C-alpha cells in the first residue's frame, strides 16, 4: 500500500513572520549535529527567541553562506510556542532543511530538526525548469498529465539519511497517467546541472438525520445521514463534513481541473433511516468462451479477458455507462484456465433489470495510451433475474456462465461509520477538526479501483489537492472490502501526517517507515477508541475473507505476519525498500509503551518496559508527529521527539518519560533507563509484571519484590482454600519466613481493591 499523507494541535492562531536569520555574532556554545540530525535541550541556558534568531547558523556550526527563514509559528495547548525555520545555502532553499525551536514562558526549551551540513556546492543551474519537467515526465512514462505544478530549484539530498549527498536539483511534482495506465503522483528530483533523475518520492501512501446501519464488520451502528434528496437519505454527515460516494465506473480527473479525484461518483442512498442488508449482484462467472474471444487473448500485447457490469452495450466503452470497473483477469490465457469468477461486486440493483454483464477482450494499451477504449470481441448478457441464488446465462454465441444474487451488508456503511468514529477520535483526543485541523471535507470513495495497481485489494489516501480516501472491495480470495476500522484510521492519518504543519513525512527511507507506523498506531488507537475490549493489535484483520487469523501486520509481534517485519532497529528483516517493511519497529515500541513487557531483542539486549496505557501513549505519539518531526525524520529523530513530547506532557520525572526511553531501548534505539517507576495500587494491575516471587519452589524463605508505591495485602492459601498466613507487601524486597508451613502446594493471593491476583508457590 503506497501512501503519503497531519497537523498541529493549536490553541493560538497561526502566525507567519518572514524574517531572514543569518550569522550575526559569536556564540559561546554550539548545538551538536549528528548526520544532519539536531536535538538539544537548552532550558539551562535561559535563552530567548531573539538570541536564537540572531545566531542560528553559528549555533549549528554552519558558515556564513547559510541562513534561515522563519516558516511558521504557533502556540499549542501546553503553552509552547513552536517556530519552524527553513534552511538556505547561498540563497537556495535546502529541501527538508528545517529547524524547530520550542519556547515556553519566553525561554527556549528545545531545538530540533534536520539540516544539510554543506561547505560548498555549485548553485548555478545549467538545466532550465521546462527541461527538468520534461525529464521528470519521461522518467515516469507519463502520457497524460493532470495538475500542473511549477518546478522548484533547491538543494536536495540524493543519498539517504545516513549517507547524504547534496545536489542542486529541481523538485517537480507530477500527477499523471503512464502508458500502462497507472496513475502516479510523485515528486521527482532532477539534477539541475545534468538533467539526471536523482530520486522519486511517492505521494500516494494509500440537515443531518441519525440512521441505523448494518455494517459488514462492526455490527449494528448509528450513523448520520442527510435528507436533502426528496424521499431519500444519503451517506452524508454535514456536521462532521463526511460524505461517502460510490465511485463505480467513474473516471478520474485526468485534466487536473479541480480537487475531486473521481469526476462522476454517485451518492449512496436509502429510502429510510434503517440501512439493512440487501440483495446485491456479488459475482459473475464465465464457464466457457467462444473461439472468437479465446483466440484474441494476447497477454504480450496487453489484450486480456475482462469482466464488467454495464448499463448499456457498446464495444466502444467511451459511450457506455459503467456499473463496475473492468476486472482484468491476467491469469486467463486459454480455455484451460476457465472457469473464471469476478467476486465482491456489491452492486445493489434498483429493480429496473437494467444491468448488463459482460466478458470480453480488453485492450489496455488502447484504453490508457490515448486511443479509444474498447471491449471487443465481447459477450453480453442481461442480469434479469434478481431473485436470491445463482442464475445461469448463455449468450447463444458459445459463451456461458452464471451470476449470483445474495443478501449482503453494504461495506459503504462501514466506511461512513468508521470515518465518523475516526473524526471523533481526533476531535475528542486532540481537538483536531478533520485531517487538517481546519474542518475540511472528508471524502470516502467506495469501489474506486486503486489507481496505481488495477486492484481492489487495497485502500489509499490521496495527497493534495484531492485529500480523499479510496477503498477497494477486495477480490473475495482472500480479501474482503478494505473498510476495516483500523484501515480507515490508517489512511486518514496519512492525511493528518501530510498536513502536520511541518511538511509531513517523506514516503521513503526511515521517514517513510515512520509515516506508515504513525498510521498503523493511530489506526489501532481508533479501533480501541471505538471497540474497547474487542479491539486488537493486528492491522487489517477484518479485510480477509472468509474470516481467518490473517492480518496485514502485527504490532505486538511484527515478525509473525505473513510478510515478517523487523521489531528491532536494523535487526532481522530490516529492509527500507518499502515504507511498510520497517514500520514494525515503531509499532512494537508503541505496543510496549502501552502494554509493557519484558524480553530480549535482536541485539541481545534484555529489556523491561512498564506500560503507561493507550490514552497517555497516544498523546505522546500525536505530539511527536505534530511538533518535533521534519519531513526527512529518522528513527533517532522519532526517539528524541517522543522523549521530549513525554517531557512536555507529563514531566521528566514521570513514569511515562522513563517508559518511552525503555520502549525504544527494547526495539534497539537508545539506552535503557534504570529509573524505577513510581506505581500506585490504583494505577496498576497487580500482576507478575509488578510482583516477583522467588525462589519457587522454596523451603525456609521466599522473597517477593514489588515496584508498587503503596503496600499490597496478600494471603498464603493452601490447596483446600484455607488461609495459612497474612502478608503485607511493601515496595522493594520482602523476605517471608515460611518455615512454619508444611511441604506442599500453596497459592499467594494479592488484593488490589477487590481485584485479586494469584501466584502458585511450591514449598519443599
Q: How confident is the model at residue 505 (pLDDT cuts 50, 70, 90)?
A: very high
Listed ranges 85-94, 446-455, 552-561, 721-730; the one with the highest mean pLDDT: 85-94
- Are both 606 and 673 inside the same structural domain? yes
The one catalytic residue in 502, 580, 658, 690 is 580
Encode pLDDT of 349-408 as tens digits: 876 667 899 999 988 766 555 566 678 888 999 999 999 999 999 999 999 999 999 999
What does the pLDDT average to over 538-559?
76
- Are both 104 and 134 inside the same structural domain? no
Residue 14, pLDDT score = 26
What does the pLDDT average to over 535-542?
85
Strand pairing class (208-214; 274-275): parallel
Residue 8, pLDDT score = 21
Torsion, CA 131, CA 132, CA 135, CA 137, rounded to 10: -110
Q: In this structure, is residue 120 part of a structural domain? A: no
- Cell digits for 256? 487536473
- Are both 535 and 657 inside the same structural domain? yes
Residue, of 105 and 353, whose pLDDT is higher: 105
- Are both 316 and 335 inside the same structural domain? yes
Residue 626 is given by DSSP the state I
CATH of the domain at 547: 1.10.390.10
- Are both 149 and 110 inside the same structural domain? no
The one catalytic residue in 167, 420, 491, 618 is 491
- Evaluate if residue 661 carries a pLDDT over 90: yes
Residue 13, pLDDT score = 26
Domain range holding 296? Answer: 280-406
How far from 542 is each of 103, 108, 420, 621, 684, CA to CA, in Å?
A: 44, 47, 18, 25, 31
Q: In this structure, is residue 269 part of a structural domain? A: no
Residue 1, pLDDT score = 32
pTM for this predicted structure: 0.77
Residue 264, pLDDT score = 84
- Evaluate if residue 22 carries a pLDDT over 80: no
CA distance 282 to 197: 45
Encode pLDDT of 555-584 as tens digits: 999 998 777 899 999 999 998 888 888 999
Q: In this structure, is residue 563 part of a structural domain? A: yes
Into how many domains does the chain fold?
Answer: 5
Pick the last residue of a domain from 90, 114, 138.
114
Q: In this structure, is residue 261 part of a structural domain? A: no
User: How many CB atoms within 10 Å of residue 577?
Assistant: 10
Rg over alpha carbons for the chain, rounded to the nearest Å, is 30
Q: In this structure, is residue 98 part of a structural domain? A: yes
- Are both 677 and 708 inside the same structural domain? no
Residue 679, pLDDT score = 47
Any idea which of 68-77, 418-427, 564-573, 753-762 has the lowest mean pLDDT? 753-762
Residue 688, pLDDT score = 64
| Residue 332 φ/ψ, nearest 5 degrees | -95, 115
**E strands, 565-637, where?**
597-600, 606-609
CB 714 within 8 A of CB 721: no
- Cα angle 660, 666, 668 (rounded to 5 degrees) comes to 105
Residue 200, pLDDT score = 92
Q: Where are the alpha helices (DSSP H) in 477-532?
A: 485-498, 509-531
Q: How confident is the model at residue 732 (pLDDT cuts 50, 70, 90)?
A: confident
Any idea which of 27-36, 166-175, 451-460, 727-736 has the lowest mean pLDDT? 451-460
Q: Where are the alpha helices (DSSP H) in 42-126?
A: 49-59
What does the pLDDT average to over 496-518?
93
Q: What is the mean pLDDT of the chain?
A: 86
Q: How confident is the model at residue 24 (pLDDT cuts 50, 70, 90)?
A: very low
- Are both 306 and 401 inside the same structural domain? yes
CA distance 415 to 215: 9
- Evaluate if residue 325 carries a pLDDT over 80: no
Residue, of 720 and 111, whose pLDDT is higher: 111
Cα torsion angle, 460, 464, 467, 468, sign: negative
Q: In this structure, is residue 594 part of a structural domain? A: yes
Residue 464, pLDDT score = 86
CATH of the domain at 109: 3.10.450
Listed ranges 347-351, 517-521, 689-693, 739-743; the one with the highest mean pLDDT: 517-521
How far from 429 is each of 363, 499, 617, 627, CA to CA, in Å?
A: 50, 18, 12, 16
Residue, of 566 and 764, whose pLDDT is higher: 566
Q: In this structure, is residue 506 part of a structural domain? A: no
Encode pLDDT of 260-312 as tens digits: 888 888 899 998 999 999 999 999 999 999 999 998 888 888 888 989 888 77
Residue 449, pLDDT score = 66
What percent of the chain clears pLDDT 90, i.e. is strictly above it?
53
CA distance 560 to 572: 12
- Are both 535 and 644 inside the same structural domain? yes
What does the pLDDT average to over 84-92?
96
Residue 380, pLDDT score = 92
Q: In this structure, is residue 385 part of a structural domain? A: yes
CATH of the domain at 141: 3.10.450.40
- Cell digits for 531? 471497540
CA distance 231 to 236: 15
What does the pLDDT average to over 477-485?
82
- Are both 527 and 672 inside the same structural domain? yes
- Are both 59 and 140 inside the same structural domain? no
How far from 65 is each of 5, 218, 293, 400, 721, CA to CA, in Å?
A: 33, 58, 68, 74, 80
Residue, of 210 and 149, whose pLDDT is higher: 149
User: Quick check: is 331 catalytic?
Assistant: no
| Residue 101 φ/ψ, nearest 5 degrees | -115, 130
Pick the last residue of a domain from 202, 222, 250.
202
Pick the last residue of a domain from 681, 715, 730.
681
- Are both 521 and 669 inside the same structural domain? yes
CATH of the domain at 718: 2.60.40.1930
- Are both 573 and 641 inside the same structural domain? yes
Q: How confident is the model at residue 457 (pLDDT cuts 50, 70, 90)?
A: low
Amino acid at each position: 500500500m503506497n501512501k503519503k499523507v497531519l497537523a498541529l494541535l493549536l490553541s493560538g492562531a497561526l502566525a507567519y513572520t518572514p524574517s531572514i536569520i543569518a550569522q550575526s555574532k559569536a556564540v559561546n556554545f554550539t548545538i551538536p549535529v549528528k548526520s544532519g540530525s539536531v536535538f538539544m535541550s537548552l532550558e539551562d541556558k535561559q535563552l530567548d527567541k531573539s538570541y536564537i534568531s540572531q545566531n542560528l547558523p553559528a549555533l549549528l556550526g554552519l558558515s556564513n553562506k547559510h541562513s534561515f527563514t522563519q516558516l511558521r509559528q504557533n502556540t499549542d495547548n501546553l503553552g509552547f510556542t513552536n517556530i519552524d525555520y527553513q534552511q538556505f545555502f547561498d540563497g537556495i532553499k535546502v529541501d527538508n532543511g528545517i529547524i524547530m525551536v520550542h519556547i515556553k514562558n519566553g525561554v527556549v526549551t528545545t531545538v530540533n530538526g534536520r539540516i544539510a551540513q554543506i561547505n560548498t556546492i555549485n548553485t548555478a543551474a545549467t538545466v532550465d525548469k521546462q527541461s527538468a519537467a520534461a525529464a521528470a515526465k519521461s522518467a515516469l512514462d507519463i502520457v497524460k498529465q493532470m495538475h500542473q505544478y511549477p518546478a522548484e530549484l533547491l538543494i536536495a539530498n540524493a543519498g539517504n539519511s545516513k549517507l547524504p549527498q547534496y545536489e542542486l536539483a529541481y523538485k517537480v511534482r507530477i500527477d499523471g497517467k503512464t502508458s500502462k495506465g497507472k496513475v502516479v503522483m510523485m515528486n521527482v528530483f532532477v539534477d539541475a546541472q545534468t538533467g539526471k533523475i536523482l530520486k522519486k518520492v511517492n505521494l500516494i501512501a494509500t440537515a443531518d438525520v441519525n440512521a441505523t446501519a448494518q455494517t459488514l464488520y462492526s455490527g449494528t451502528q448509528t450513523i448520520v445521514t442527510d435528507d436533502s434528496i426528496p424521499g431519500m437519505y444519503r451517506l452524508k454527515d454535514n456536521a462532521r463534513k463526511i460524505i461517502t460516494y460510490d465511485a463505480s465506473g467513474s473516471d478520474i480527473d485526468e485534466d487536473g481541473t479541480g480537487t475531486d479525484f473521481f469526476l462522476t461518483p454517485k451518492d449512496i442512498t436509502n429510502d429510510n433511516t434503517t440501512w439493512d442488508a440487501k440483495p446485491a449482484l456479488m459475482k459473475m462467472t464465465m464457464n466457457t468462451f467462444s473461439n472468437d474471444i479465446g483466440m484474441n487473448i494476447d497477454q504480450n500485447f496487453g489484450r486480456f479477458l475482462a469482466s464488467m457490469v454495464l448499463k448499456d452495450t457498446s464495444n466502444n466503452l467511451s459511450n457506455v455507462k459503467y456499473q463496475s470497473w473492468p476486472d482484468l483477469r491476467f491469469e486467463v490465457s486459454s480455455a484451460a484456465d476457465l472457469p473464471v469468477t469476478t467476486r465482491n461486486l456489491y452492486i445493489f440493483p434498483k429493480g429496473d433489470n437494467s444491468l448488463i454483464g459482460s466478458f470480453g477482450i480488453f485492450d489496455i494499451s488502447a484504453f490508457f495510451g490515448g486511443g479509444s477504449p474498447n471491449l471487443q470481441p465481447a459477450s453480453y448478457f442481461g442480469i434479469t433475474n434478481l431473485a436470491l441464488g445463482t442464475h445461469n446465462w448463455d449468450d447463444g454465441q458459445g459463451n456461458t456462465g452464471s451470476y449470483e444474487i445474495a443478501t449482503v451488508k453494504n461495506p459503504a456503511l462501514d466506511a461512513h461509520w468508521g470515518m465518523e468514529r475516526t473524526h471523533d477520535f481526533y476531535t475528542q483526543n486532540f481537538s483536531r477538526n478533520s485531517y487538517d485541523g481546519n474542518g475540511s471535507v472528508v471524502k470516502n470513495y467506495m469501489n474506486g479501483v486503486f489507481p496505481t495497481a488495477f486492484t481492489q485489494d487495497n485502500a489509499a489516501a490521496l495527497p493534495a489537492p484531492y485529500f480523499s480516501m479510496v477503498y477497494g472491495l477486495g477480490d473475495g480470495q482472500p480479501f474482503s472490502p478494505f473498510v476495516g476500522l483500523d484501515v480507515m484510521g490508517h489512511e486518514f492519518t496519512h492525511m493528518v501526517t501530510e498536513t502536520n504543519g511541518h511538511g509531513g513525512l517523506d514516503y521513503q527511507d526511515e521517514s517513510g517507515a515512520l509515516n506508515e507506523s504513525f498510521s498503523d498506531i493511530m489506526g489501532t488507537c481508533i479501533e480501541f477508541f471505538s471497540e474497547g475490549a474487542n479491539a486488537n493489535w493486528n492491522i487489517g484483520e477484518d479485510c480477509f475473507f472468509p474470516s481467518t487469523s490473517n492480518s496485514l501486520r502485527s504490532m505486538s509481534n511484527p515478525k509473525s505476519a505473513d510478510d515478517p517485519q523487523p521489531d528491532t532497529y536494523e535487526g532481522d528483516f530490516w529492509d527500507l525498500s518499502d515504507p511498510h517493511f520497517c514500520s514494525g519497529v515503531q509499532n512494537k515500541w508503541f505496543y510496549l509503551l502501552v502494554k509493557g513487557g519484558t524480553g530480549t531483542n535482536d541485539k541481545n539486549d534484555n529489556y523491561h518496559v512498564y506500560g503507561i496505557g493507550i490514552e497517555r501513549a497516544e498523546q505522546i505519539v500525536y505530539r511527536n508527529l505534530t511538533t518535533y518531526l521534519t519531513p526527512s525524520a529518522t528513527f533517532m529523530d522519532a526517539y528524541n521527539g517522543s522523549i521530549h513530547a513525554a517531557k512536555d506532557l507529563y514531566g521528566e520525572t514521570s513514569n511515562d518519560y522513563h517508559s518511552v526511553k525503555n520502549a525504544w531501548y527494547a526495539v534497539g534505539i537508545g539506552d535503557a533507563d534504570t529509573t524505577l517507576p513510581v506505581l500506585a495500587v490504583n494505577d496498576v494491575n497487580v500482576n507478575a509484571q509488578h510482583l516477583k516471587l522467588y525462589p519457587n519452589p522454596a523451603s525456609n524463605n521466599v522473597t517477593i519484590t514489588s515496584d508498587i508505591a503503596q503496600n499490597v495485602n496478600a494471603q498464603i492459601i493452601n490447596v483446600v482454600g484455607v488461609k495459612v498466613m497474612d502478608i503485607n507487601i511493601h515496595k522493594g524486597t520482602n523476605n517471608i519466613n515460611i518455615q512454619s508451613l508444611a511441604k506442599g502446594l500453596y497459592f499467594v493471593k494479592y488484593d488490589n481493591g477487590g481485584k485479586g491476583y494469584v501466584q502458585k508457590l511450591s514449598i519443599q
